[in-house]
Amino acid sequence: MPELKPKQEKLIIALMSKSTTEEAIKEAGINRSTAFKYLRDPFFSSEYRRIRRETMQQVTSKLQQASIIAVETLLDVMADKELSTSSARVQASKTVLENAYKGIEMDDLQQRIEQLEEALDERLG
């Protein structure tokens, strides 16, 4: 399996930390045409996507961990009639309900997708 060249690694690191491709190219210290040649290279693109996906999985994991605190905060605001305003309690309640409904919708969609995949497997297999 091929490995990334040092310049390619620098470009990926820069792409992950800069807002634009142009900024990343400057940060990596490589020629613009070389950078775009790398971006068109299937192996480089695959590695860049893999690294971005891994980064997003880490971010998602942190968000999931923080979501427990967020839900507890919403529940505290909903229940606190002394310190929370009525509008804050209503907003917290709406947020909890909206997300509960979204969760149900996502579960339903997941179930439908699985059923469609099973039906497709039966037809093809």
pLDDT digits (tens, 9 = 90+) for 100-111: 899 899 999 999
pTM: 0.59
What would the pLDDT profile of 41-89 be if each residue is shown by its tens digit?
A: 999 999 999 999 999 999 989 988 998 999 999 999 999 999 999 999 9
Angle at 29 between CA 24 and CA 34, to 5 degrees: 80
Mapped onto helix, strand or coil, the DSSP state of residue 29 is coil
**Does 2 score more than 70 pLDDT?**
yes
Contact 72, 95 (CB under 8 A): no
CA-based torsion, 105, 110, 111, 112: positive or negative: positive
How far, in Å, CA of 52 to CA of 88, rounded? 37
